[in-house]
Amino acid sequence: MSATTEWPPISPYRTGIRGLCPRCGRGHLFNGYLTLKPECEVCGLDYSFADPADGPAFFVICFTCVPAVAFATWLEVVHSPPLWIQFATTGPLVLLACLLPLRPLKGWLVNSQYFYKAEQGVLDLENDPVHKPTPNDAD
């Protein structure tokens, strides 16, 4: 593919959840379970821009782990099962609730960074109406 090829914007939901390239929608995003590839094998997009940080883990904790732990608490309070039943039911539930959504969420966040052109914030003090440069600022 040519470096000057125009790529139409693709929804980060459509490509991210499936772990596909945010630019072409055909190449793969991951090398293994959560490791990002260096670049797309189809269009050559460099994935070094991607930095989802702890975003996937945060969403998993908020939206899947809390209900799984609530289920474990409910099971204990209502039924008081033996410890081995608690481990046999809630252990796999919590593990699956944590591990299954990580990859789709990371793909969605990486694709969203590309789609919305997210980048590190930069302060523009010259055009800031609150901060008026004074002669002492040069020191």
Instruction: Check residue 122 and give its pLDDT.
Output: 76
Instruction: Check residue 46 and give its pLDDT.
Output: 95
Q: Which helix (H) or strand (E) holds 14?
A: helix 12-16
Determine if residue 19 is left, alpha or beta; phi over 0 gives left, psi from -120 to 50 gives alpha, anything else beta: left
- Give me the chain's average pLDDT, please: 88
What is the spatial distance between Cα 98 and Cα 91, in angstroms, rounded to a whole number? Answer: 11
Confidence of residue 69 (pLDDT cuts 50, 70, 90): confident
Instruction: Check residue 48 and give its pLDDT.
Output: 92
Confidence of residue 6 (pLDDT cuts 50, 70, 90): confident
* Residue 82 located in a structural domain: yes
Residue 137 has pLDDT above 60, yes or no: no
* Residue 126 located in a structural domain: no
Instruction: Check residue 132 and give its pLDDT.
Output: 63
Instruction: Check residue 68 and give its pLDDT.
Output: 87
Do 89 and 69 form a contact (C-beta atoms < 8 A)?
no
* Residue 7 located in a structural domain: no
Average pLDDT of the segment spanning 19-48: 95
* Residue 122 located in a structural domain: no
Instruction: Check residue 131 and give its pLDDT.
Output: 66
Residue 94 has pLDDT above 70, yes or no: yes
Do 113 and 120 form a contact (C-beta atoms < 8 A)?
no
Range of the domain at 99: 12-115
Instruction: Check residue 121 and give its pLDDT.
Output: 78
Q: How far is CA 45 from CA 36, 113, 118, in A?
A: 12, 13, 16
Residue 139 has pLDDT above 70, yes or no: no
DSSP state of 94: H
* Residue 95 located in a structural domain: yes
Helices (H) and strands (E) in the chain, counts: 5, 0
Residue 9 neighbours by CB distance under 10 Å = 9
Confidence of residue 134 (pLDDT cuts 50, 70, 90): low
Do 26 and 129 form a contact (C-beta atoms < 8 A)?
no
* Residue 136 located in a structural domain: no
* Residue 72 located in a structural domain: yes
* Residue 19 located in a structural domain: yes
